[in-house]
Structure 1
Amino acid sequence: MALPAAEIARLVDLAAPVLCLDTCSILDIMRDPNRDTMHAHHVSAGMGLLAAVESKTILVGLIATQVQLELVEHVDHVQEEAKDAMARLGDRVKRIDAIASALGAVGSTDLSHLDDHVVRARAAVDRWVLAALNVPQSNDTAGRALSRLNQAQAPAHKGKDSMKDCVVIETYLEAIRDLREDGLTAPVVFVSSNTKDYAEAPGSRLRAELATEFAPLNIEYASTWDLAKHILGV
């Protein structure tokens, strides 16, 4: 049992939708906003879901212990990458302004509103960690994850060490199984932008072998925050 019995009973009584969080999607909020894959509507949906989780009644956010460990491992590095990217953007705009000025343009671009962008993004990541309910590994999680890895069963791939991803998915499968068996009927979504491991290529449809495990538990997969928000109806 991943969650304590009392916590399972509380969540079933609450009857709120459930969002299972993956490391990639949380870190996406803080990544370089210059990337072509970054869109305002994705981030806006993520912040809306965060507010719903923070309400403690509208939406339940679950965060596996393995996800927390991965965030601790990667969050500072991602933050530094974002800082560097924003600095490069500022330098690029200054260079363009100088070129424009040399051609007779008057004025300069004001990017001061972006000065604390990375700080705000990091704060959002920290809020997710604080707001979501931790789901610890049970005594059986590691064994099931290893079996999944050895069989190259999604999210595992042959020739790739996907043990951490396997631990995450096994943690959530067990938690949702316990909730469903206790009577939870609300929507459940697993959100991960890691389509390379979780989705069929190309596209964002869940890999077939995972779909067969998600379906009996009525778990939906979302590759973006806005898709997760749409499915959850919050």
Structure 2
Amino acid sequence: MPIHRYDDALLKFQQEPATVLYLDTCILLDIIRSPIRDTIAAESVQFAKFLLERSNHKPKSLWLVISETVALEWEEHADEIVKEVEREILKLESKRSHMLTAAKAATEIDYLHGQAVNRINLAQTLKAISKSVLDTCIVIPPENEHSLAAMKRVKKYRAPAKRGKAEPKDCEIYEVFLSLCRDLQEKEMKLIFASSNTNDYGEKNSGGIEQELSAVKAKYANCWNWVNAILEERS
């Protein structure tokens, strides 16, 4: 993970203008969670791998960017999500075995069990893909101005904050992105904020962030599929 001070990262983007895709923790962890969450499209991993590949193209066409806070949160939560996925896979295999045993009892026919998902190390493979995306990102440590702006959001209950849920870390992550948007206006680059946390960033939370992002010519995507649609100008 290349770590850059805010001004250094900004200069890098200005010298090599390309789409800036700013990721939050949830959407990175969704890569690992994708097999067990109905709300996460199965194609999410495919799109994430495609964007990872695209970010390595020359000339530069895509910057993957995160706040340093996101990197720390990923390290904190990735392993527990891997364990959750492994538990759910074992439950699924147990149910399938139970169903085939019942089917054999009813029909007196042996049915093929098929590929046992728990034997292909899926959770660890998905974690490795998520880590590859993380490691490719430009990492920007929040500066004092971002922390200050985040606290103002908290006090005013502006998304992702809300009454009864301050979310100072999320506010700080988001303020780094807003700062980039303002400072990159003259370059007319595509700017995308990607978070699957629609409860905090979506319309249900005081209208969400769409209007604010529109003012700085940026877009919000709540899943990997949507990110891809924006990049292909289908959204």
Report the TM-score when normalising by structure 1.
0.88
Q: Which of the numbers 156, 166, 175 marks the counterpart of 2:171?
A: 166
Give the paired residue count.
227
SS at match of 2:53: helix
* Structure-2 residue corresponding to 1:7: 9
Moved more, 111-120 or 217-226: 111-120
Q: Which residue is equivalent to 1:221?
A: 220
Query: Which structure 2 segments of 5+ residues have no match?
Result: none
Amino acid of the residue matched to residue 130 of structure 1? D
Pair 1:40 & 2:33 matched: no
Amino acid at match of 2:89: M
Contact map agreement 1:90 1:111 (CA 8 A) in 2? no
Q: What is aligned with 1:198?
A: 201
What is the 5 A alignment of 1:98-137? 98-103=101-106, 104-112=108-116, 115-137=120-142
- Structure 2 residue 97 is the aligned partner of structure 1 residue 94: yes
Question: Which residue identity is paired with 2:94?
Answer: D
Distance across 2 between alignment mates of 1:147 and 1:6: 25
Identity of aligned residues (%): 28
Go from structure 1 to structure 2 and tell me whether the alpha carbon gap of 1:3 and 1:173 turns closer, same or farther (over 3 Å shift).
farther
Change (3 A) 1:151 1:188: same
CA distance in 2, matches of 1:108, 1:161: 52
Q: Deviations over 1:29-50 (max 9, x none)?
A: 1016132213223332222112
Q: For the Cα contact (< 8 Å) 1:188–1:232, is it kept in 2?
A: no
Quote how far apart the aligned CAs of 1:176 are.
Answer: 2.5
Distance 2:221 2:47 in 1: 12
Shift of 1:22: 0.8
Q: Which amino acid letter does the alignment assign opposite residue 50 of structure 2? A: G
Kindly report structure 1 stretches of 4+ aligned residues shifted beyond 6 Å: none
Distance 1:90 1:209, change over 3 A: closer
The equivalent residue for 1:52 is 54
**Secondary structure of 2:139 counterpart:** strand
Go from structure 1 to structure 2 and tell me whether the alpha carbon gap of 1:32 and 1:96 turns closer, same or farther (over 3 Å shift).
Answer: farther
Could you say what secondary structure the match of 2:97 adopts?
Answer: helix
When residues 228 and 155 of structure 1 are mapped into structure 2, their CA distance, relative to the original with a 3 A threshold, is same
Structure 1 unaligned regions, length at least 5: none
What RMSD, in angstroms, separates the aligned Cα atoms of the two structures?
2.1
Secondary structure at the residue paired with 1:118?
helix
Equivalent of 2:74, from 41, 47, 71? 71
Report Cα offsets for 1:6-52 as digits up to 9, x if no partner: 43233223221110101111101101613221322333222211222
**Residue pair 2:9, 2:138 contacting (<8 A) in 1 also:** no
Between the two structures, name the one with larger relative contact order (CA 8 Å, sep ≥ 6): 1
